[in-house]
Structure 1
Amino acid sequence: MTTGTTSGAELRPEPAGQPAPDRSDQDDPTVSSRSDQTNAVAPAGAIAPVGAVEAFQPVKSAGRTLDVLEALADAPRRRSLVELARALGIPKSSLHGLLRTMIQRGWVEADATGTRFGLGVRALQVGAAYLEADDATGLLAGVLDDLAGQFGETVHLGRLDGPHVVYLAKRESVHRLRLYSAIGRQLPAHATALGKVLLAQRTDEAVDRLLSWPLPALTRHTITDPELLHVELASVRDRGYAVDREENTDGIVCFAMAVPLHSPAVDAISLSVPATRLDAESEERIAAALHGAVRQVRAARTLLSGA
């Protein structure tokens, strides 16, 4: 499963040795003496939430390893040692050792020249394991199938992840002219129906803290002004669903509703339609179908909880 900060969708027709030791963090304690005292009352094996212990000091080598994975996931192509070192601010000697270790473990792959690097198959395996273990993807599989069957258009399940939304599942359109997207793709929440409907679940103050300002514009229709975005989110709350009118991808209109599995919701379902296939009647049908799908989820949740 990959992630990226650029637009993850577009409108297009369907196409016919041992690692060198890294000594940079030998003197960095994982937790200071103050945090050790604070954690003394925690259950054995428990890990405090991030930010719960002020004196917590991240492990530098672990942080660097994750930085490398995220940088490779964000890149549309393989990256060189020099590019990664410059982007991440890691000395090339330390980065070389990290990459060799990650290649040995299957997290990173090098090209035939051994000079350019990308994600390895282990990253795919872990991403797939995340989806297999996720309750929402299993519970909502039938709902996604029903929506795709009714309209023959692209259907997504998305999750809010900070200022972004990530595709967790999708159903393809039956049409040649369709929305292209990928599971695991990360998009700015303010520029998608999925993201806007999930942002609308939160207060304006919470939204301001969550988003990364200034907001990027993916198309000329993307809402980037804070006041206009707050007005849009207020409309989403009143309407009960969000509409992305070519704000993420030119030529694509998307409708989304939040899924009531958490409070506030973190997951939403959407249906995307090329603007050329959309009219007022079909918009009404899509909105009604999304409402019906959410009612199914609410009923299923009630049955599962025994309420």
Structure 2
Amino acid sequence: MSVVGKVTLILDAFTADDRGVGFAELQRRTGLAKATLHRLSGEMVEARLLDRVDGKFHLSGHLFALGMRASVERSLIEVATPFLEDLYERTHETVHLGRREGAEVVYVAKIGGHRQARAPSRLGGRLPLHATAIGKALLAFAPDPVRGEVLSKPLARLAPRTVTSAELLRRQLDEAAETGLAYEAEESAVGIVCVGAPVLGADDLAVAAISVAGPVTRFQPRKHGAAVRAAAAEIALTLARRSA
């Protein structure tokens, strides 16, 4: 494996929930030799790709700043934020913006107030497409090979109500493709319900998706579906104008 490959392996070993990773744990996650990891981690601290605090490693603020320079992500977040804020003011529930990477949704923005639901989503975190409304919205408007690949593989169960039947998921995706809305009913976590909609590009494929999630005890996803779909359409329209 090349040096770049090993550095990437180290960076990918961190999760959104980490509060610092010790050397032994980092070695376990990467499988790198102790001497190799010791040398590379030291060089990555010097290069400001990692921070080391109290003997534990963290992804650095400099790395975050580099990530925010990615033109696609920055433009998407800048355009979407006002519409996400409007959705939050309308619902007072947790609002997400996400992009697809492989068979997962990556959360690139999240807005929630003091009473936000304990959803499993994390800024920068990932969840399987099939287990979330935002993921289903992305998958329903993904290229056919992507959709086919997800449906052909076992669907991991995150909660008791996670959809693990390919046929049921296929029907949900067909409905989402027809209505422009996808739903989740306690599938990523017990007690959480959600509605999502795709942000479509010129080819009618999803470049991103948005969602609103809340506790099943107070949030009614279908009541807010039209607002979520309209916000996604406005984000898509604004992105199209910027790129024209």
Could you say which residue in structure 2 is the equivalent of 1:109? Answer: 51
CA deviation vs aligned residue, 1:48-90 (integer Å, no higher than 9, x gap): xxxxxxxxxxx61100001001102366343333333343232
**1:90 has 2:90 as partner:** no
Distance in 1 between the 2:50 and 2:152 partners?
A: 29
Indicate which of 61, 64, 74 corresponds to 2:6.
64
Q: What RMSD, in angstroms, separates the aligned Cα atoms of the two structures?
A: 2.6
Contact persistence 2:193–2:216 (CA under 8 A) = yes
Q: What amino acid sits opposite 1:290 in the alignment?
A: V
Contact persistence 2:16–2:124 (CA under 8 A) = no
- CA shift in 2, pair 1:261/1:202, >3 Å: closer
**1:292 has 2:230 as partner:** yes
| 1:298 positional shift | 4.6
Contact persistence 2:151–2:166 (CA under 8 A) = no
Shifted more, 117-126 versus 70-79: the winner is: 70-79
**1:276 has 2:217 as partner:** yes
| 1:238 positional shift | 2.4
Q: How does 1:131-280 map to 2 (within 5 A)?
A: 134-173=74-113, 176-180=115-119, 181-202=121-142, 205-209=145-149, 213-261=153-201, 263=203, 264-279=205-220
Q: What amino acid sits opposite 1:78 in the alignment?
A: G
> Larger relative contact order (C-alpha < 8 A, sep ≥ 6)?
1
Distance in 2 between the 1:131 and 1:154 partners?
A: 25
| 1:215 positional shift | 2.5
Contact persistence 2:137–2:197 (CA under 8 A) = yes
Distance in 2 between the 1:76 and 1:110 partners?
A: 13
CA deviation vs aligned residue, 1:99-120 (integer Å, no higher than 9, x gap): 11011122223342x3x43323
CA deviation vs aligned residue, 1:272-302 (integer Å, no higher than 9, x gap): 12111134xx623x11112322342354355
Distance in 2 between the 1:203 and 1:261 partners?
A: 12
Of Structure 1 and Structure 2, the greater helix share is in: 2
CA deviation vs aligned residue, 1:152-176 (integer Å, no higher than 9, x gap): 2211111111111111112223x52
Q: How does 1:18-33 map to 2 (within 5 A)?
A: none
Q: Give the secondary structure class of the aligned counterpart of 2:15.
A: helix
Shifted more, 231-240 versus 176-185: the winner is: 176-185
Unaligned runs of 5+ in 2: none
Q: What amino acid sits opposite 2:234 in the alignment?
A: Q
Could you say which residue in structure 2 is the equivalent of 1:18? Answer: none
Q: How does 1:120-135 map to 2 (within 5 A)?
A: 120-130=60-70, 134-135=74-75
Contact persistence 2:94–2:213 (CA under 8 A) = yes
| 1:220 positional shift | 0.5
Q: What amino acid sits opposite 2:222 in the alignment?
A: E
Contact persistence 2:15–2:125 (CA under 8 A) = no
Unaligned runs of 5+ in 1: 1-58
- CA shift in 2, pair 1:257/1:177, >3 Å: closer
Q: What amino acid sits opposite 1:102 in the alignment?
A: M
Q: What amino acid sits opposite 2:228 in the alignment?
A: L
CA deviation vs aligned residue, 1:198-217 (integer Å, no higher than 9, x gap): 10113664323257943321
| 1:131 positional shift | 7.6
Q: Give the secondary structure class of the aligned counterpart of 2:157.
A: coil
Could you say which residue in structure 2 is the equivalent of 1:119? Answer: 59
Distance in 1 between the 2:93 and 2:67 partners?
A: 25
- CA shift in 2, pair 1:111/1:278, >3 Å: closer
